[in-house]
Amino acid sequence: MGVEGIGARVVRKEDKRFITGKGRYVDDIKLQGMTHAHFIRSPHAHAKVKGIDSSAALKMPGVVAVLTGQEIVDDKVGNLICGWAITSKDGSPMKMGAWPAMAPETVRFVGQAVAVVIAETKNLARDAAEAVVVNYEELPAVADVHAAIKSGAPQLHPEAPGNQVYDWVIGDEGATDAAFAKAANVVKLDVTNNRLAPNAMEPRAAIADYDSAEEHFTLYTTSQNPHVARLVLSAFYNIAPEHKLRVIAPDVGGGFGSKIFIYPEEMVALWASKKVGRPVKWTGDRTEAFLTDAHGRDHVTHAEMAFDANNKITGLKVKTYANFGAYMSLFSSSVPTYLYATLLSGQYNIPAIHAEVVGVYTNTTPVDAYRGAGRPEASYLIERLMETAARQLKVDPAALRRTNFITQFPHQTPVIMAYDTGDFNASLDAAMKAIDYAGFAGRKAKAKADGKLRGIGMSCYIEACGIAPSKAVGSLGAGVGLWESAEVRVNPVGTIEVLTGSHSHGQGHETTFCQLVAERLGVPISQVSIVHGDTDKVQFGMGTYGSRSAAVGLTAILKAMEKMESKAKKIAAHALEASEGDIVIENGEFKVAGTDKAIAFPMVALAAYTAHNLPDGMEPGLKESAFYDPTNFTFPAGTYICELEVDPGTGKTSFVNFVAADDFGRLINPMIVEGQVHGGLVQGIGQALLEHAIYDASGQPVTASFMDYAMPRADDVPSFNLSHTTTLCPGNPLGIKGCGEAGAIGASAAVINAITDAIGKNNLEMPATPDRVWRTIHAA
Amino acid sequence: MSTVKLTVNGKAVAVDVEDRTLLVQLLRDHLNLTGTHVGCDTSQCGACVVHMDGKAVKSCTMLAGQADGASITTIEGIAKGDELHPMQAAFRDNHGLQCGYCTPGMIMSAIDIVHRYGGQLDEATVRHELEGNICRCTGYHNIVKAVLDAAGRMKVSQAAE
């Protein structure tokens, strides 16, 4: 490992611009002649749009246009799509209700846009929006999944009778029933996985700029995957052919999944820019983010686990109702199916699993992938079940887990996934040691003497990352391949540009990706720059989500580097009059092994571009590209243990200690990996203790600002004690598994297991607010 | 419309703005100082924190006119040329930022915290004082480390001055 190579704690190259206020986010960009958009959004959860009167608004100062849903439909802008086809157990395709970018006839959630005002300034657009009169005819609405599937419930879409999107199954029902018939013990649990608002700190924004002479659009947008955005806008929404649409995602202020999707606002901004002949900018405010950014989670589940007389798990049955909100967002269909039920085996040998997932429409904001996307729901369910089982079977929770750990790899689960490697005992051992698990009973007794209820809870999570082998996901219904691309451009003076289809919105790619180059060539990272986020600069790539950018994106860079190095070695060998096979790369030089003959890398680069003396038949230049398609998912896993105290008088939870032992395979930059874990853990803790996107029975959102939705703040959470146990991933040459979502996947179960341990009652839903904990303690 | 006269990062400026203009809009839209961000519109998240006459304020929650005659310092104004403010350096060295969006407000709040406590800070105090700044990326762990680190650095640099 060099000082800047793989495994080094290199401070981030990108930080200087962020700490000096020079970051460039979408809202920081101004274009000549730019107008400003303000959307008129439904205040009703379900209503007919009977008419829109914009005559008064159009007379107001600075108003350029008021455009409506009917006009965007008339102009044949396509309806929003869902890119993963799921088939119900009866063989029928999922039921898709039409989702126009602005509603011409019917609104189905509070915040759905019906029209947009375009004006000279943001304030003038807001003023004019107040003067647009929309005549609604309210319809009955439904926000809760159980209410939505009852007969007689308000119906959202004619295409989806009973508000059902699909009824999907996985696993072997007969084998699972047989396991339950023979079970010595059965453990049952009902859990709700609370709806969350992703809340990246930068609200979504878009600037669209149409050039009528070139018939060309440029879109600046807050996207995690600008090429996917361009593809969808072009192929499905009829905005422009791909070569006439440039999508730029500059600095993006957090995503957590919510900026994967292509939203109505980008579509409208592009369409409106052509309509008004000027650039159109839209920047959402926080309440718009709560109303329109795809939410996460929102599952209601009943599960049963069968055990034999030796406490070995013999079967698992799961039935989940997933609330999709009012429309199917871009990847929503895959989240409670292939990203959830395929992880229901957890870290355990479970011979038979059967899961059924019913997707349900409700009059709420659409739900899609949010940090972890299906895997937190699976991990939470399994780890709550294991804790419940340990309590019911009266065994130590760690011992019950060890009894059932998978220890032989590869391991084929009954739910598609084939785990490639891991050492679950190692991470459990590390976490138990770090928190002094053996000493807990003494600490609990001491806390009791102080009037506090102390609890300890663990969560042994596994997830599937490195998304994903294209052929495999294609066979499961995905509409896209999930490879990644890279291009390595060596300049004539030997500096290097790496163009990647991955996108960084906080992950630090501009540093970690350079570390790979430094590792291979021995050049300082200051000589390398990472180019991403612009479809005019970078070859098609799939973007960043699902903890894929190191395992897939960095591997693509490795493949391109290998090609470039191979050509560079031929040039060096020719210059040094040596055999190509004898050339080694060390400290920025190409050397003839075992001699003092060497040529510096910049001289190799220069030779490639002067082309005065290249091997016969070699093309000039030094630039190579690669597309890498993974062969399997990767399987990060680990154990989180949380120790906390509950004040029985108030129900308030205080953390005592929180330890994490993760196996992410090889780490490129441990400092950045730790940062990813910290942030993920707090999102998991936030779900467990604070966060809940709440709707009342009529579909009105109750939590649509930071005044009402409890975001984790610095004094709500502890500092963390992290460690790593490593098994290298055999599926990619760097041995990387991915680290971006683990914290959010594993933390919530550890917290709820610890609180329920402290209070001695097992049934407690998230978020475990003081009020809810107090009521649970004092319930009869 | 009114003319607001104020000093921003050491420079005197006079800006004609609508009376309803917020301080953050004056900074971002009129002076192109886009390092100050808007994250919530309800005075909760602190992405908009700047210093007014040396004290941290939320620039999304005051009118530009209320800053008439005041001295404003933004994230763009705290480094001395290429020399970072110790708080900026501490955020970088401790990996106290990821996406960078909350960072300017965090740094401006943190400097104010260190000043108010004369550098005498512990973890619990820093966590309590950061109540008005929300970060979604870092889980606060490294932000707290950075503020404590910077408190030490600022004491040293003050002693040297």
Q: Give the number of domains in chain A.
A: 3
Is the model's pLDDT at A642 over the cut of 60? yes
DSSP single-letter state for residue A295: B
Domain harbouring A123, CATH code: 3.90.1170.50
Q: Are residues A387 and A438 in the same domain?
A: yes
pLDDT per position as a tens digit, A358-398: 999 999 999 999 999 999 999 999 999 999 999 999 999 99
Q: Which residues of B touch A671 (CB under 8 A)?
A: 95
Q: Are residues A64 and A120 in the same domain?
A: yes
Residue A167 lies in a domain: no
Residue A580 lies in a domain: yes
C-beta atoms of A200 and B84 within 8 A: no
Q: Which residues of A touch B146 (CB under 8 A)?
A: none
Residue A304 corresponds to which amino acid?
E
pLDDT value at residue B155 = 79
Q: Which residues of A touch B141 (CB under 8 A)?
A: 675, 678, 719-720
Residue A671 lies in a domain: yes
What ipTM was assigned to the predicted interfaces of this complex? 0.98
**Residues A547 and A738 sit within 8 Å (Cβ to Cβ):** yes
Q: Are residues A368 and A454 in the same domain?
A: yes
Quote the CA–CA distance of A572 and A600 in Å, as a whole number: 9
Task: Give the one of B97, B140, B144 whose C-beta lies nearest to A15's C-beta.
Answer: B97
Quote the CA–CA distance of B105 and B46 in Å, as a whole number: 6
CB within 8 Å of A449: residues ≥ 6 apart? none
Q: Are residues A456 and A312 in the same domain?
A: yes
Q: Which residues of B touch A17 (CB under 8 A)?
A: 100
Chain B: residue nearest A716 by CA?
B127
What is the bridge-based pairing of β-strands A653-663 and A721-724?
A: parallel
Is the model's pLDDT at A589 over the cut of 60? yes
Is the model's pLDDT at A1 over the cut of 60? no
Quote the CA–CA distance of A69 and A81 in Å, as a whole number: 17
Quote the CA–CA distance of A334 and A332 in Å, as a whole number: 6
Where are the domain boundaries for CATH 1.10.150.120 in chain B? 86-160
Q: Which residues of A touch B93 (CB under 8 A)?
A: 11
Cis amide leading into A410 (omega within 30): yes
**Residues A243 and A329 sit within 8 Å (Cβ to Cβ):** no
Q: Which residues of B touch A286 (CB under 8 A)?
A: 39-42, 45
pLDDT per position as a tens digit, A85-98: 999 999 999 999 99
C-beta atoms of B100 and A674 within 8 A: no
CB within 8 Å of A450: residues ≥ 6 apart? none
Instruction: Tell me, yes or no, if A680 comes closer than 8 A to chain B by beta carbon.
Output: yes
Q: Are residues A557 and A587 in the same domain?
A: yes
Show the DSSP H helices in A139-249 as ranges.
145-148, 173-181, 226-235
Residue A661 corresponds to which amino acid?
A
Is the model's pLDDT at B161 over the cut of 90? no
Assign residue A523 a region: left if phi > 0, alpha if psi is -120 to 50, beta otherwise?
beta
Residue A133 lies in a domain: yes
**Residues A295 and A332 sit within 8 Å (Cβ to Cβ):** no
Q: Are residues A487 and A454 in the same domain?
A: no
Residue A180 confidence class, pLDDT cut points 50, 70, 90:
very high
Residue A175 lies in a domain: no
C-beta atoms of A20 and B137 within 8 A: no
Please enumerate, as own/partner, the contacts of A565-571 that have beta carbons within 8 Å and a separation of 24 or more: A565/A520, A565/A521, A567/A608, A567/A618, A567/A622, A567/A624, A568/A490, A568/A601, A568/A604, A568/A605, A568/A608, A568/A622, A570/A615, A570/A618, A571/A604, A571/A607, A571/A608, A571/A614, A571/A615, A571/A618, A571/A622
Which of A573, A600, A628 terminates a domain? The answer is A628
Task: Give the one of A251, A285, A743 whose C-beta lies nearest to B41's C-beta.
Answer: A285
Q: Which residues of B touch A199 (CB under 8 A)?
A: 136
DSSP single-letter state for residue A228: H
Task: Give the one of B79, B126, B134 whose C-beta lies nearest to A706's C-beta.
Answer: B134
Quote the CA–CA distance of A472 and A487 in Å, as a whole number: 25
Domain span at A264 = 19-79+93-139+204-283
**Residues A466 and A548 sit within 8 Å (Cβ to Cβ):** yes
CA of B38 to nearest chain A CA: how many angstroms apart? Answer: 8
- Residue numbers of A between 482 and 541 with CB closer than 8 Å to B: 505-508
Residue A468 confidence class, pLDDT cut points 50, 70, 90:
confident
Q: Which residues of A touch B39 (CB under 8 A)?
A: 201-203, 286
Which of B99, B125, B131, B142 best tests the A interface by mutation, with the highest count of A CBs <10 A? Answer: B99
CA of B66 to nearest chain A CA: how many angstroms apart? Answer: 19
pLDDT per position as a tens digit, B21-55: 999 999 999 999 999 999 998 999 999 999 999 99
Of the CATH numbers 1.10.150.120, 3.90.120.10, 3.40.50.300, 2.30.42.10, which one belongs to the domain with range B86-160? 1.10.150.120
Is the model's pLDDT at A540 over the cut of 80? yes
Which of A589, A605, A628 terminates a domain? The answer is A628
Which of A127, A201, A717 best tests the B interface by mutation, with the highest count of B CBs <10 A? Answer: A201
pLDDT per position as a tens digit, A660-689: 999 999 999 999 999 999 999 999 999 999
Among A763, A756, A746, CA closest to A683: A746
C-beta atoms of A20 and B79 within 8 A: yes
Among B22, B33, B99, B30, CA closest to B58: B22
pLDDT per position as a tens digit, A715-772: 999 999 999 999 999 999 999 999 999 999 999 999 999 999 999 999 999 999 999 9
Q: Which residues of B touch A22 (CB under 8 A)?
A: 35, 76
Q: A213: buried, middle or exposed (CB in 10 Å: 19+, 13-18, 0-12)? A: exposed
Quote the CA–CA distance of A549 and A630 in Å, as a whole number: 12
Chain A: residue nearest B22 by CA?
A123
Kindly report the pTM of this predicted structure. Answer: 0.98
Residue A380 lies in a domain: yes
Chain A: residue nearest B107 by CA?
A19
3-state secondary structure of B66: helix
Q: What is the share, in percent, of chain A residues with pLDDT greater than 70?
A: 100
Q: Are residues A657 and A600 in the same domain?
A: no
Residue B105 has which token pair?
């407000």
pLDDT value at residue A64 = 98
C-beta atoms of B101 and A27 within 8 A: no
Phi and psi angles of residue A338, each rounded to the nearest 5 degrees, phi first: -75, -20
For chain A, the average pLDDT equals 97
Q: Which residues of B touch A16 (CB under 8 A)?
A: 92
**Residues A320 and A299 sit within 8 Å (Cβ to Cβ):** yes
Is the model's pLDDT at A152 over the cut of 90? yes
Specify the DSSP element, H or E, that contains A444. Answer: helix A440-449
Which of B43, B101, B122 best tests the A interface by mutation, with the highest count of A CBs <10 A? Answer: B101
pLDDT value at residue B160 = 62
Quote the CA–CA distance of A592 and B17 in Å, as a whole number: 68
C-beta atoms of B134 and A17 within 8 A: no
Where are the domain boundaries for CATH 3.10.20.30 in chain B? 2-77
β strands within A255-352, DSSP E:
280-283, 299-307, 313-325
Q: Which residues of B touch A124 (CB under 8 A)?
A: none
What mean pLDDT comes out for the span B144-151? 98
Q: Which residues of A392-419 are buried (b: 16+ CB within 10 A; e: fewer)?
A: beeeebbebbeebbbeeeebebbbbbeb
Residue A86 lies in a domain: no
Q: Which residues of B touch A253 (CB under 8 A)?
A: 37, 99-102
Give me the sign of the Cα torsion angle A233, A235, A238, A241.
Answer: positive
What mean pLDDT comes out for the span A400-423? 98
3-state secondary structure of A32: coil
The fold adopted by the segment(s) B2-77 is Ubiquitin-like (UB roll) (3.10.20)
pLDDT value at residue A95 = 98
CB within 8 Å of A79: residues ≥ 6 apart? A98, A99, A100, A101
Residue A528 lies in a domain: yes
Residue A780 confidence class, pLDDT cut points 50, 70, 90:
confident
What mean pLDDT comes out for the span A690-702? 97
Chain A: residue nearest B124 by CA?
A715
Domain harbouring A492, CATH code: 3.30.365.10
Q: Are residues A494 and A615 in the same domain?
A: yes
Q: Are residues A621 and A637 in the same domain?
A: no
pLDDT value at residue A351 = 98
Residue A348 corresponds to which amino acid?
Y
C-beta atoms of A201 and B128 within 8 A: no
CA of A683 to nearest chain B CA: how many angstroms apart? Answer: 8
Quote the CA–CA distance of B158 and B152 in Å, as a whole number: 10
DSSP single-letter state for residue A153: P
Among A627, A725, A720, CA closest to A667: A725
Chain A: residue nearest B144 by CA?
A714
Quote the CA–CA distance of A91 and B140 in Å, as a whole number: 48
Quote the CA–CA distance of A738 and A731 in Å, as a whole number: 12
Q: Are residues A313 and A333 in the same domain?
A: yes
Assign residue A506 a region: left if phi > 0, alpha if psi is -120 to 50, beta otherwise?
left
The Cα angle at residue A425 between residues A423 and A431, in degrees rounded to 5: 110
Q: Which residues of B touch A15 (CB under 8 A)?
A: 91-92, 97, 100
Q: Are residues A615 and A677 in the same domain?
A: no
Among A300, A295, A240, A286, CA closest to A266: A240
Task: Give the one of A287, A506, A715 whose C-beta lies nearest to B99's C-beta.
Answer: A506
Q: Are residues A599 and A720 in the same domain?
A: no
Neighbouring-strand partners of residue A25: A251
pLDDT per position as a tens digit, A185-219: 999 999 999 999 999 999 999 999 999 999 999 99
Instruction: Tell me, yes or no, if A743 comes closer than 8 A to chain B by beta carbon.
Output: yes
Chain A: residue nearest B89 by CA?
A19
Count of CB atoms situated within 10 Å of the CB of A134: 20
CA B87 to chain centre: 11
Quote the CA–CA distance of A153 and A755 in Å, as a whole number: 36
**Residues B148 and B126 sit within 8 Å (Cβ to Cβ):** yes
Residue A176 has which token pair?
């699972």
